[in-house]
Chains A and B, each alone.
Chain A
Amino acid sequence: MSTPNGVLVRTPAAQRSRRQGTLWPTLRAIYIIWYRDILRFWRDRSRLIASFAQPLLYLVIFGTGLGSSLSGGSSFGGFNYTTFIYPGIIGMTVLFGSIFSAMSIVWDREFGFLKEVLVAPIDRSAVAIGKSLGGATQAMVQGLILLILAPVVGVKLSLLSVVAMVPLTFVLAFALSAMGVAIASRMKSMQGFQVVMNFLMMPMFFLSGALFPLGSRLPDWMKVLTVLDPAAYGIDPIRRVALGGTLPGPALDQLSLNVAGTVLPILAEVGILLAFGVVMLAVAVRNFRVRD
């Protein structure tokens, strides 16, 4: 379609590769939106390093400090505190990573790039899905990188538990990314981000069981809140798989999320989290589809 003197010849509409249906273009758009996120993530090494530094601080300084001032450690099922919070810190990294990545939509909006996506001839659901998957992938990678610290904190991981960790972190990352995208789809400026941080991310982190067990010792009002925290349903399975090689199941159950007196099986927790993610994604899709 090019001629030697650089004249741009128009492509007849019929010649364009317009495949039938809307599924293929949507998938292609999801892919490129996801790919852009990954490309930026990979290019921004400082963020990769930063995502490693914060968990390290929690594990080494917070974990050692608080752990050494706690007596015996029987409340952590016999683990030392650092070992106990290790899966929680993986969960925290996924939680923060997901929401930060999803919030890049607000960044895109402020810097204009979002407009390029919104005027494209694609179904806007691709924006919500692509962004959710992009955020999920980044957060999952950030979380899984921390597995290399397992020997340092005295956690024995089998190959199987490492493999199981991949879908578990992904589901958590996906659910929280979808939530972040749903929020970001309504947010007009970065100023609102601080509000999300303080009133959503931090409470979700504290109630998730990342730093203390969500067993029966908690007061009732707090139990209610932990049951409402989607992150709790993601961190619990991660902890069970990560510490499962070190501790028998019943002892772990005592540390686990407790819904109305029963300990949910991992698959149920994953199912609840996935359902939450799908609902959030639906909200995000709806928000992006609205046209004035």
Chain B
Amino acid sequence: MADQAVIAVHELAKNFGPVEAVRGIDLEVQPGEIFGFLGPNGAGKSTTINILCTLMRATSGTATVAGIDVDHDPAAVRSRIGLGFQDPSLDQQLTARENLEFHAFVYDVPASSRKERINEVLAMVDLADRADSVVMTYSGGMRRRLEIARGMMHTPDVLFLDEPTIGLDPQTRRHIWSYLGELPKRAGVTIFMTTHYMDEAEYCDRIAIIDHGKIQAVGTPDELKKMVGGDVVSITTSDNVTALAQIEAIAGATPIADNGTLRVEVPDGAAFVPRLVRETSVEVTSVAFRRPSLDDVFLKLTGRAIREEESSSTDQLRMMGRAWMGRGRR
């Protein structure tokens, strides 16, 4: 199984009545990856993740998780995956330990290792000291951590996280990421997550950008950024007129003079800067280059900036309603 994709999706599509939420998605996720699903609200992220988690059925196409077809044996898939939802699905009137005990029961964690396992996952997210507090007393970040810990209780092959850090403050988000980033190495799990935070996508090993129900691009964050063309270098020199011709020779592109600064796009800014300093005869007084961000990638692929707003609570309710009731409404 080692080299086989842990998630394989082929021409997956999902319609809600006349609305095509997902229009033919193909992707493969390798074991141990942190795979990010990036896109604006309504792009089809949650629908796809719900199909992979067996909460919804696809209209057409196939998907396997841990080698099991999600449509043929949803129960088997469920036993191999862990989930963390954007809206905590913890019982707030129970303690962390009781929530985990519930989970251990329904996921068939052997009675002999239940206690030990609960302590392990609590320690993993630094909640051991609060194990017997009722979840209602937890902060938003603690709840999210507990939710992740719970998803790991039954040693799943894949941990699905739907917007794991949505609605949290930046500091808490970094905190959560410090746990998530470690998980594949520590626990041998594959993480499949959705997000619409560009900065978070950077933590992923690979990203798929999805918009209008289709995958626009897949790759490592660096690969995706290279699609933009290159880095933007801004240079000031003691003699811009002389420098312009020399830079053009090095970069193979004509710099644009703008307000005393020369701007040029190069494939690789980091390699370009030493050459620039070495090969120009005039004095370079300042040089700066900006790597393209995933925002630039998204802009290039979709023609618009990703919306950074949080999904509203009604959106979330609607989404949950879809997931739970499964009546095909949107």
B-binding residues in A (CB < 8 A): 1-2, 6-8, 10-11, 16-18, 25, 28-29, 31-32, 36, 39-40, 43-44, 108-123, 186, 188-189, 290-292
Contacts and interface: CB of A to CB of B under 8 A. Distances in A.
Contact of B89 (A2, A18, A115): A115
22 contacts: A1-B116, A6-B120, A6-B123, A8-B121, A8-B152, A8-B155, A10-B188, A28-B105, A112-B89, A115-B55, A115-B323, A116-B150, A118-B324, A121-B77, A121-B106, A122-B75, A123-B75, A188-B321, A291-B56, A292-B56, A292-B326, A292-B327
A291 B54 contact: yes
B324 A115 contact: yes
Interface stretch (B92-100, B170-178, B197-205, B245-253): B92-100
Nearest to B104: A32
A143 B221 CA distance: 62
Given A17-B108, A117-B106, A292-B326, A11 B92 contact: no
Give the interface SS of chain B, mostly helix, strand, loop or mixed: helix
Contacts of A292: 55-57, 322-323, 325-328
B151 to A, nearest CB: 10
A115 B105 contact: no
Nearest to A18: B108
B242 interface: no
Interface stretch (B35-43, B80-88, B259-267, B292-300): B80-88
A29 B109 CA distance: 12
Interface in B37-82: 53-57, 74-79
Contacts of A186: 325
Contact of A43 (B93, B106, B155, B188): B93
A112 B316 CA distance: 10
A36 B95 CA distance: 11
Given A8-B187, A116-B90, A188-B325, A31 B105 contact: yes
Contacts of A18: 108
B139 interface: no
A272 to B, nearest CB: 31
A119 B93 contact: no
Contacts of A121: 75-79, 106-108
A119 B155 CA distance: 15
Given A16-B110, A39-B98, A291-B74, A113 B55 contact: no
Contacts of B155: 8, 10-11
B308 interface: no
Given A39-B94, A189-B317, 7 more contacts: A8-B124, A36-B98, A110-B317, A112-B320, A114-B89, A116-B91, A292-B327
B117 interface: yes
Nearest to B16: A292
Interface residues of B, number: 55
Contacts of A25: 108
A243 B94 CA distance: 41
A40 B90 CA distance: 13
Contact of A6 (B117, B124, B152, B325): B124
A139 B76 CA distance: 35
B85 A115 contact: yes
Contacts of B116: 1-2
A22 to B, nearest CB: 8
Contacts of A109: 320, 324
A113 B53 CA distance: 16
Q: Which 9 A-B pairs have the closest CB atoms?
A: A292-B326, A121-B79, A121-B78, A32-B105, A112-B89, A120-B106, A17-B110, A8-B187, A116-B89
Nearest to A13: B80
Nearest to B134: A43
A74 to B, nearest CB: 50
Interface in B149-192: 150, 152, 155, 186-188
Contacts of A114: 89, 324
B90 A122 contact: no
A32 B99 CA distance: 11
Contacts of A116: 89-91, 102-103, 150
A11 B80 CA distance: 11
A122 B106 CA distance: 7
A2 B321 contact: no
A283 B74 CA distance: 21
B286 interface: no
Nearest to A289: B326
B113 interface: yes
Contacts of B322: 292
A32 B79 contact: no
A143 B308 CA distance: 53
Given A1-B113, A10-B155, A291-B54, A113 B90 contact: yes
